Each structure stands twice: as structure tokens, then as C-alpha cells.
Amino acid sequence: MRCVLLLCVLTIAAPIHAERDEAGFVWLAADELVWQELEPGITFAIIEGNPQREEFYIIRARFAPGIFSAPHFHPNDRFITVIKGTWWSATGTSLDKEDSVPLDPGSYMKHPAGAVHFDGSKGEEVIVQISGMGPAPMIYVDEAGNTVD
């Protein structure tokens, strides 16, 4: 249910303010991003593409201070660059923030398809840019590794 909700929200949040010329160049200022809530403390904005479809996409995710995602995975590889703050990421089904690795602005991480992970912020707002091929649902798992709705 949660991953279906995410796909619906991502579809609605297309970057409607992006300026595109006849040659296909796009201009989207940071203050024009349309942020939508994914879950309490985590928002996202679509930069390019549609993460619900089988196509390339770019999104930004913003984590409020102290907020982590629940353990989850994605069906396709995702490529992440830290834009702002220190982003903390860990692998596995147990939401143990002490196992997370800090990544500063400019850092990169790859989430391989099907690999369970969780990530977020320990004490400051964090913004990451995520790209990949859709569809890109978040599939949540419990500590035993079973998917949850």
C-alpha cells in the first residue's frame, strides 16, 4: 500500500514550473521546486522524468533533522548525490542508526536494485538528488526482511 501511494504522489508532483525551450533545454530554479510530503519529515521534488514509468528520472529528497526512512528497497538501481547536509545511510533490515555511514555534500552512493537500506538525517536538514530508471517504488520491509504494506 505504501509503495502504491508513493507512485501516485510521484505522478502528481511533475515539475510544472520548469521552463523548456523549443530545443528541449530546461531551466528550473531551486525556488521553483514543488516539494511534496512522502511521509512525515521526508519531502521530495521531481526534477526530470516520471519515476512511475519505465524511464529515466531525477528527484530530490529532503529529510528534516533527525528523520530516517524505514528499511526499504527499490526494484532498480538508484544513484544518489548529497546536495546539502550530512546524509546517513545504512544497509539491512534493522533500523539501527548507529550503523549508518555519514556522507557529506558532494558525496555519492549507489543503491543496488533489491538491496535493503535506510537513510536520513541525524541533526540537520539534508537534501539528496536521486536518479535512476523507473518504475521506482519504495518497498518497505520488516526486520525479518518481509515486505510490508
pTM score: 0.86
Q: Confirm whether 145 is domain-assigned.
A: no
Which uninterrupted H or E stretch holds 24? none
Question: How many domains is the chain built from?
Answer: 1
**Residue 149 domain-assigned?**
no
Range of the domain at 49: 2-140
Note whether residue 24 is domain-resident: yes
Rounded Cα distance between 41 and 148, Å, is 20
Tens of pLDDT, residue by residue over 42-59, are: 999 999 999 999 999 999
In a domain, 97, yes or no: yes
Residue 45 lies in a domain: yes
- The pLDDT assigned to 149 comes to 79
The domain that holds 19 is classified in CATH as: 2.60.120.10
- Identify the band that residue 31 occupies on the pLDDT scale cut at 50, 70 and 90: very high
